[in-house]
Amino acid sequence: MAALTRAFLLYLAVVLQVSCGGAAPSDILYRVPEEQPPNTLIGSLAADRGLPDSGHLYKLEVGSPYLRVDGKTGDIYTTEIPVDRETLRDCRNLFEGDECFLEFEVSITDMVNTLGSGPRLIEGRIEVLDINDNTPQFTSPILTLSIPENTHVGALFSIPMATDKDSGANAVAEYSLTAGPDADRLFGLQVAVDSDEKLPQLVVMGNLDRERKDSYDLNVRVVDGGKPARASSALLRVTVTDQNDNAPKFERSHYEAELPENSPQGHSVLQVRANDADTGTNGEIDYSLHQASEAVQSLLRIDRSTGIIYVKGLVDREEENFLKFFAVAKDRGPNSKSSKVLVTINVRDQNDNAPNIEIRGIGLATHQDGVANISEDMPTGTPVALVQVSDRDEGENAVVTCVVAGDVPFQLRPASESTNDRKRKYFLQTTTPLDYERVKEYRIEIVAVDSGNPALSSSNSLKVQVTDMNDNTPVFSPAVLKVDFAEGNQPGDKVLDVMATDADSGTNAELAYSIVEPAATRLFEIGADTGEIRVKNLLDREETERYEFRVAAADKGVPSKTGTATVVVNVLDRNDNDPKFMLSGYSFSVIENMAPLNPVGVVTVTDADKGENARVRLIVEPDNGKFMIQNGTGTILSSISFDREKESTYTFRLKAVDAGDPPRFSYVGVTINVLDENDNAPYVTKPANSSYTYMSPVTPLDTSVEVVEAEDIDSGPNAELVYTITGGNPYDLFHISPNSGEITLVQVFTGKHNGLHRLVVRVSDKGKPPRHTTALVHVFVNDTRSNVSLIEALVGHSLYTPLDRDIAGDPNYALAQRSNILYGSLAGIAGVILVIVAVVVIRHRLQKDTKSGYQAGKKESKDLYAPKQGPKNGKGKKSKKGKAPKPAKPLEEDVEAGLQKGLKFNLINEDVTDSPRIHLPLNYPPGSPDLGRHYRSNSPLPSIQLQPQSPSASKKHQAVQDLPATNTFVGTGDNNSTGSDQYSDYSYKANPPKYSSKQPPHRRVTFSTANQAQDLQDASQHSYYDSGLEESETPSSKSSSGPRIGPLALPEDHYERTTPDGSIGEMEHPENGGASSSTEPERRAGQKRQN
């Protein structure tokens, strides 16, 4: 039987079940009987939960001293200390059927990729199953029971119950009664069941006579249900007393109460009441506690007379949260009777416990005496501690908020998904990389505050020491060590001491010195520990004047790091020779724009003499003031700032003169090469910003559109240019080669692409920092291009449109497509109405002419199609009744009908011998896709009238915007700034010449006429504007408000005239009526206009 029991218990020990009941989702639940022998396997985390079984370290964080974990497999075993269900703190006051759990925590650390992630925390519970390891016991080995004489047969008297610390089937199972020969026929035993409790009762089976015998000794035996069963006995002494008929009876069958913890002594909890039907002393009742545990007896007392239960000791819910006992009411009769009632008291929580903060090591992070060590090379997010925050209170009083105080590179991260508010676990992990050389240790304070009212808080601190890693290289200061050492030395003489420092500590900062070059070790030696350099042989300056070698300092870290320094030993000698330069010629390189008085180079001159004869003075020849030399150091200093573009090479001689008598001297040539610096921005040579390229809508892909050409007067990478399109290409139609600047077509044109495209091309050099300029490339896409003036007008408006606005085809194409059907329908209806109106008007006039008569030969003197002369102030006169004059109806369609429809221009054929005039309309029909209005609205200048260029264009003046033939916008890096006048004229030259300050400034003036008919009739109608730019001024220095209109501020001989073709020439003021001194074609054009 014992063998079967043992096998059954071992079987239960290895049973693994998924969590049940109230377990959290992340809990792992095992079941094991209590009192198992040491090294009993409870479960395997790796095998049972699919966790890794190799390359990982398992460590038990919570669960000792009852459990241990195999570090490699994660197997959980019992220890030498047995698990006793009855002594576990959380299982002491369990009711029948309640489960007993033992909690554990195991951390898993990846030992292969320790730097990749922190440890993982596994939480679990073990249900401790009860075994029959406790014997049922009576409250006393001798039990007393009083029974009155003449008690009728069959009467029942309660016997004190026995208790068993085991539960379930291992609890009390049965009672038995053994009586002597004299009592065998008088007493029997009956067991009643009340609330799963077995109540033993003595049954009177015969007549009792106190006068014949007043007491009987019986043996009561109790047996539990375990296998094997456990039993105990007690002596039941029955005393026969005088008759007492009635037993006290409680008013309730069960008393319940709630007791606040920390209640003061004397606080009344509840009152139990019992009534007795007897009279006299038989009806007087005394109250007492029955089957009360030690905790109940220490905390509570009952008033014998009133039945009021008072607080006797300190009530602490965290120690006892539930009290269960019986209250007994016993009368005072000679044959007293009694009854009992169950009393349960719940201890209500008060927020009397501050949160408890427990800090312990986790995984590989070990703690000792409140100090955690972490290596400085650990990655961000590495846990250094496991912080467990708990509160012994319950409810809201146990909800705790935990934070890290102060500005430290650490934070708390939940370590598990457990929903237990009373006990939360966090990883204390790093938030930034640690640096031992910057901060060697941290004092981390963790503060926890509960949610009680008032709230209680607590804090705990952890000292984190950052352990040093060999992450710093030894450093010499200075990196170049120079020393003068006289010849004629003795072997072993000290030359100098070198010293390096290492920011690490410990062995990582212990240094060993050595000489790097093997050749130098033949002459010099260095102390490995001291860094003291000594000479091994006799030095001869006539053989070697200067020794240069490297010394190394290696630390003793793993792996070792090494730093080096250069040692220069200048050997001193006698002066018995002419001064001699070390080199036959010197060549130095300097960066242009270097400030004056900076070192350019160093020359070394030697002299074999000694004393005064060895004192050498250096002289620059010829001394033109550009360079000077420091005697003693041989350092050449510049007195000027270099500009490579002006002069790239300087050549002069150095003369070395000693102080002998007569002096000796020697010469050496010095060449200074000026290295280029990126101090010049590229400038665009082609195309001009005001030019454009025509392309047909059916142009095939990969067709070359234009080639942007630019130059940079710098050299090397500073002159290597890169071309990019930064604006005006929203449809990705064009691509520019970053190296050649060639723009090609890469997307097929569609209807919305018709019109002008302005590509903003950025030309940058490869200097550091880079400089750039911006060029505009205009591409006009249309079926034809005969209307050149229209295209130039669009280009002109484009030049005044901000660069951040894309000009790419017809902006109202989509709206125009949707409006075509509507406009067609409206046009048809309007046509019908116009025909009807025309018929009515003709009939009316015919009738009127019939009445008034027709005047033959009379001609209209008014040209219906000639433009009206505007007033001098530029404002048009209003027609009568405030109505605007009705525009003339076009007589015929131009060949460029497609373009005119797209731009909604009105084409007027004024005369057969005159070219058409194109007006940029001021009024547009609703939804009209008018590109002209779009470009004009984006221009900072008012709208202007443009005359188309045609074979007869020489008969007219044109209103010419003063736009640059080539626009170059210069910026440096990304800090370039272009104002609203960024399109002003920079002239045709990349670097415009500056005028002498003695000459009066010249200004550029553009002349135009308001009406060609008045060009020669009224000189007062001529208009002109001053571009506002002097030849010495740049566009960025002027306002963007446009040209100044009005009288010229300077005499006219100081102004230049810009003609429509962009040329510049002298012209007399129109009021003087003088002939123009411009080109011959202009004079012929002027004669034609006069004719």
Pairwise CA distance, residues 1073 & 1018, whole Å: 10
Query: Which residue has better confidence, 998 or 340?
Result: 340
Taking only Cα atoms into account, the Rg of the chain, rounded to an integer number of angstroms, comes to 56
Give me the pLDDT at residue 264, please. 92
Ordered strands of the 599-602 beta sheet: 599-602, 635-638, 627-630
Q: 553 by DSSP, 3-state: which?
A: strand
**Is 13 a residue whose pLDDT tops 80?**
no
Give me the pLDDT at residue 762, please. 94
* Interval 22-30 mean pLDDT: 55
Give me the pLDDT at residue 1024, please. 37
* Interval 412-441 mean pLDDT: 82
Give me the pLDDT at residue 489, please. 84
Helices marked H in 939-997 — which ranges? none
Pairwise CA distance, residues 551 & 513, whole Å: 7
- In terms of Cβ atoms closer than 10 Å to its own Cβ (0-12, 13-18, 19+), residue 873 is exposed
**Is 253 a residue whose pLDDT tops 50?**
yes
- In terms of Cβ atoms closer than 10 Å to its own Cβ (0-12, 13-18, 19+), residue 372 is buried
Highest-confidence range of 93-107, 356-370, 503-517, by mean pLDDT?
A: 503-517
Pairwise CA distance, residues 468 & 732, whole Å: 56
Give me the pLDDT at residue 695, please. 92
- Using 50, 70 and 90 to split pLDDT, how confident is the model at 898? very low
Give me the pLDDT at residue 574, please. 61
**Is 99 a residue whose pLDDT tops 90?**
no
**Is 275 a residue whose pLDDT tops 50?**
yes
Q: How far is CA 490 from the centre of its chain?
A: 66
Query: Which residue has better confidence, 188 or 899?
Result: 188
- Using 50, 70 and 90 to split pLDDT, how confident is the model at 517? very high
Helices marked H in 414-501 — which ranges? none
- In terms of Cβ atoms closer than 10 Å to its own Cβ (0-12, 13-18, 19+), residue 883 is exposed
Weakest mean pLDDT among 367-376, 454-463, 864-873: 864-873
* Interval 468-477 mean pLDDT: 89
Q: Phi and psi for 835 in degrees, rounded to 5?
A: -60, -45
Highest-confidence range of 111-125, 290-304, 569-583, 971-985, by mean pLDDT?
A: 290-304
Nearest to 791 by CA among 866, 913, 896: 896
The neighbour count for residue 890, using CB atoms within 10 Å, is 14
Pairwise CA distance, residues 79 & 539, whole Å: 78
Query: Which residue has better confidence, 475 or 816?
Result: 475
Pairwise CA distance, residues 417 & 424, whole Å: 9
Give me the pLDDT at residue 925, please. 41
Read off the pLDDT of residues 844-857 as tens digits, 9 standing for 90 and up: 888 766 554 434 34
43: tokens are 């479960």
Weakest mean pLDDT among 262-266, 500-504, 677-681, 1036-1040: 1036-1040
Residue 817 CB partners (closer than 8 Å, separation 6+): 751
Q: Phi and psi for 990 in degrees, rounded to 5?
A: -65, -40
Give me the pLDDT at residue 965, please. 39
How many residues comprise the chain? 1091
Pairwise CA distance, residues 548 & 570, whole Å: 9
DSSP 487: S
Pairwise CA distance, residues 797 & 937, whole Å: 9
Read off the pLDDT of residues 552-567 as tens digits, 9 standing for 90 and up: 999 988 889 999 999 9
Q: 1022 by DSSP, 3-state: which?
A: strand
193: tokens are 């069941």
Q: 931 by DSSP, 3-state: which?
A: helix
Amino acid at 567: V
- Using 50, 70 and 90 to split pLDDT, how confident is the model at 421? low
Asked if 18 contacts 240 with a C-beta cutoff of 8 angstroms, the reply is no
557: tokens are 């870290």
377: tokens are 């090379």
Give me the pLDDT at residue 1000, please. 41
DSSP 362: B
Pairwise CA distance, residues 531 & 552, whole Å: 10
Pairwise CA distance, residues 755 & 138, whole Å: 111
- Using 50, 70 and 90 to split pLDDT, how confident is the model at 532? very high
Highest-confidence range of 807-821, 900-914, 993-1007, by mean pLDDT?
A: 807-821
- Using 50, 70 and 90 to split pLDDT, how confident is the model at 1091? very low
Give me the pLDDT at residue 351, please. 83
Q: What percent of the chain has pLDDT over 70?
A: 72
* Interval 802-812 mean pLDDT: 82
* Interval 578-599 mean pLDDT: 90
Supply the DSSP string of 1049-1081, one letter for each residue: SS-GGGEEEE-TTS-EE----GGGTPPP-S-HH
- Using 50, 70 and 90 to split pLDDT, how confident is the model at 242? low
Give me the pLDDT at residue 152, please. 84
Give me the pLDDT at residue 1086, please. 41
Asked if 119 contacts 107 with a C-beta cutoff of 8 angstroms, the reply is yes
- Using 50, 70 and 90 to split pLDDT, how confident is the model at 179? confident
Read off the pLDDT of residues 643-670 as tens digits, 9 standing for 90 and up: 888 888 999 999 999 887 778 889 999 9
Give me the pLDDT at residue 814, please. 55
Q: 587 by DSSP, 3-state: which?
A: strand
Pairwise CA distance, residues 896 & 789, whole Å: 13
Q: Phi and psi for 1075 in degrees, rounded to 5?
A: -80, 150
201: tokens are 């009762």
* Interval 351-377 mean pLDDT: 83
Give me the pLDDT at residue 285, please. 92
**Is 360 a residue whose pLDDT tops 80?**
yes
Helix and strand counts by DSSP (H, E) for the chain = 8, 71
* Interval 1038-1061 mean pLDDT: 39
Nearest to 729 by CA among 812, 807, 811: 807
Q: What percent of the chain has pLDDT over 90?
A: 25
Read off the pLDDT of residues 313-327 as tens digits, 9 standing for 90 and up: 998 888 888 899 999
Highest-confidence range of 412-421, 749-758, 886-895, by mean pLDDT?
A: 749-758
Weakest mean pLDDT among 71-80, 306-315, 546-555, 1038-1047: 1038-1047
Give me the pLDDT at residue 815, please. 60
Pairwise CA distance, residues 257 & 307, whole Å: 14
What is the average pLDDT value for the chain, to the nearest integer? 75
**Is 632 a residue whose pLDDT tops 90?**
no
Pairwise CA distance, residues 494 & 483, whole Å: 11
Asked if 960 contacts 1058 with a C-beta cutoff of 8 angstroms, the reply is yes
**Is 53 a residue whose pLDDT tops 80?**
no
Give me the pLDDT at residue 363, please. 72
Could you tell me the CA-to-CA distances from 423 to 251, 399, 457 in Å, in that order? 42, 9, 15
Asked if 130 contacts 91 with a C-beta cutoff of 8 angstroms, the reply is no
103: tokens are 């909690």
Pairwise CA distance, residues 495 & 491, whole Å: 11
Asked if 544 contacts 529 with a C-beta cutoff of 8 angstroms, the reply is no
**Is 917 a residue whose pLDDT tops 70?**
no
**Measured over all CA atoms, what is the biggest interatomic distance in the chain, rounded to whole angstroms?**
176
DSSP 579: -
Amino acid at 676: D
Asked if 966 contacts 983 with a C-beta cutoff of 8 angstroms, the reply is no
Q: Round to the nearest angstrom and report the end-to-end CA distance of the chain.
A: 144
- Using 50, 70 and 90 to split pLDDT, how confident is the model at 967? very low
Give me the pLDDT at residue 816, please. 59
50: tokens are 């699919």
Pairwise CA distance, residues 653 & 655, whole Å: 6
The neighbour count for residue 634, using CB atoms within 10 Å, is 19
* Interval 759-765 mean pLDDT: 94
**Is 12 a residue whose pLDDT tops 90?**
no
**Is 24 a residue whose pLDDT tops 70?**
no
Asked if 967 contacts 1021 with a C-beta cutoff of 8 angstroms, the reply is no
Give me the pLDDT at residue 420, please. 64
Asked if 1036 contacts 978 with a C-beta cutoff of 8 angstroms, the reply is yes
